[in-house]
Amino acid sequence: MNSLKFPAWFSAENSKALAAPLIIIMILAMMVLPLPAIVLDILFSFNIALAIIILLTSLYTVKPLDFMAFPTVLLVSTMLRLSLNVASTRVVLTEGHTGPDAAGKVIEAFGHFLIGGNYTVGIVVFIILTIINFTVVTKGAGRIAEVGARFALDAMPGKQMAIDADLNAGLIAEQEARRRRTEVAQEAEFYGAMDGASKYVRGDAVAGIMVTIINIVGGLVVGMLQHDLGFSVALKNYTLLAIGDGLVAQIPSLIISTAAGVVVSRVASEQDIGGQLVTQLFTKPRVLYITAAIIGGMGLIPGMPHFSFLLLAVGLGGIAYAGTHLIKKETIAPEPAAIAAPAESEEATWQDIVPVDTLGLEVGYRLIPLVDKGQGGELLRRIKGIRKKFAQEVGFLAPPVHIRDNLELKPSVYRITLKGVEIGTGEALTGQYLAINPGMATGMLPGPVTSDPAFGLPATWIEVSFREQAQTMGYTVVDAGTVVATHINHLITLHAAELLGRQEVQQLLDHLSKNSPKLVEDLMPKLLPLSTLQKVLQNLLAEGVHIRDMQTIIETLAEHAARTQDPNELSALVRIALGRAIVQQIFPATSELSVIALDSKLERLLMQALQASGPEGAGIEPGLADTLVMQAEQATRHQEQMGLAPVLLVPAPLRPLLSRFLRRALPQIKVLSHAELPDSKTIKVTSLVGGQV
């Protein structure tokens, strides 16, 4: 027997894609095609169920983007209610003379059960529901959505820079950064869509009033003129039908308006709305005790409903009593462990000599939670991410960072050491955020003014409640752990040459020999000692050149090692071989290189000094040196103001001399030689050094 086969286009994914167009077409068809009463009953019941589903979904969402389809759902549900109004109006006007059940049992039930068959009561209830929906819930939700959309758009640059800061610090991977950027963009789009979608609900409320009035007036005309009904009979029949129809539409509309208000008014946290309400309203015993006392006092006043007030006071007191005991139970401190008796002093041994840690992090006692897994500190995980990112970008694995507490430091101060010597220090306030001004922030923030310990940018420590405001004003906002991690990442990149020891060089060779054993075997140790290779790699790292392409480095050294063993000369040859990678690192994704150049007169002076004393003993006359530094600093500032990388382009013989000379005074400037530039790149001189020499 042949099995039943569906067409190739019919699948679960395709059926989901077809669902939305079919629903829209069916809703529009309901406005045109007549529907029997039984179908109206089913659709009205579905409309109420849909409204309840939307409300419960909004209550159980943790953040607005968990219900990202809500603006579209608002549009579809509004169109569904309006279509049902049109369909029910057609039935009311054509069959209303037959009785109150002409438009189905649902409308009849709302017309009789909810308002007791009294159309005056029905009109009043309908008007009250409409006013609540139109002037309170919908108007408030629309205003919150409007403000949220503006704040979300204003905060986008700050949030994007915070993501870039985490990515550069190695705290997150590129995939996670893309996900966060997408989430930031989606949040802005969501609030913008909610701002517009809230207008649907307000328009629906107005349409509900107009449809109800039209049904009443039109019903009177049709009943009296076409079906010869008396005024009182026609008024009762058509008013009950119209009010029942209006209530059937307005109650789901009020439910969905409430859902919209819940979605846009919630503050982002890790709890849903129910969890926030219970946690923040009923977990403060003092508040509950005072409330219970006030309610109990009101219950003792003569004429008051004593039972209701006293029962509520007892209930609140019981909740407060239970909460007090729960808090006491959670805050009971564990008994301190018995202090061990001091051991007898022993003779000094070679084991007492502790090797110096290559990289160390010392923290004050208030920063211990940042490095303690038991207290939720994530700095250890972030440091692992920094080392991984450093290895992927620079080309070798940095030594582990040994962390310990130091009671000699101030409580919120940390210190970063390299081989036991301090290379950086800073302050991090746990529980607060550092708002960094990248140069485009507007306004001042309350809190201690400081500077970013990694890059020296002006910054302010702020409370958690000011985080969103700071992002809206253009600040880059990071927590205390990110401040420390970014500082560590900056310093290990800056001191990469000192972190590359012989052990790391040998590990690099061992790793390379797994794929290219012959290449390593031909160079080491036949042509070049390990110490020379280490010096060459350190020269590259000192000038910010990554050594990921070890195969090109080894091939270049193998080609020239028979002619020279000078590390500086070999470093220059390797730089030429890595020229394309060096330029790509400084000028990503551009074919035109905007650089700083030397004036021809200054270039001749420097070449003469170099030829007179040789490359090792070359020196620059003090007056000329001061002028060179001053003009190079001006050119660097000019490049940075134009958003360009400060790169000085010089002839190949002058590059080592100027690189060593400018590295101390202007560490941000990169010195390239003409030989290192790929032929495919175009050079554009945007600044000149030495024009006044």
What DSSP line would sit under 187-223, residue for residue?
HHHHHHHHHHHHHHHHHHHHHHHHHHHHHHHHHHHII
How confident is the model at residue 617, as a pLDDT? Answer: 45
Task: Tell whether pTM > 0.75.
Answer: no
| 573 vs 318, residue with greater confidence | 573
**Is the CB of residue 470 less than 8 Å from the CB of residue 477?**
yes
Mean residue pLDDT of the chain comes to 79
Count of other CB atoms within 10 angstroms of residue 614: 8
CA distances from 190 to 282, 674, 677, 688 (A): 32, 51, 47, 49
Q: In what order do the strands lie in the sheet with 401-405?
A: 401-405, 359-363, 413-418, 421-427
How confident is the model at residue 60, as a pLDDT? Answer: 75
Q: Has residue 339 got a pLDDT over 50?
A: no
The helix or strand, by DSSP H or E, that contains position 120, with its residue range, turns out to be helix 119-131
Q: Over range 516-530, report the average pLDDT.
A: 84
Query: What letter represents residue 103's amino acid?
Result: A
- Rounded to an integer, what distance in angstroms lies between the CA atom of residue 537 and that of residue 185? 42
For 339-432, list the strands marked E by DSSP.
359-363, 401-405, 413-418, 421-427
pLDDT tens by residue, 226-271: 766 777 777 777 777 777 777 777 777 777 777 777 776 665 555 5
- Rounded to an integer, what distance in angstroms lies between the CA atom of residue 604 and that of residue 617? 18
Could you give the count of Cα atoms lying within 13 Å of 241 in the half-sphere of its Cβ? 33
The helix or strand, by DSSP H or E, that contains position 91, with its residue range, turns out to be helix 70-95
Q: Has residue 538 got a pLDDT over 90?
A: yes
**Is the CB of residue 659 less than 8 Å from the CB of residue 641?**
no
How confident is the model at residue 99, as a pLDDT? Answer: 59
How confident is the model at residue 115, as a pLDDT? Answer: 58
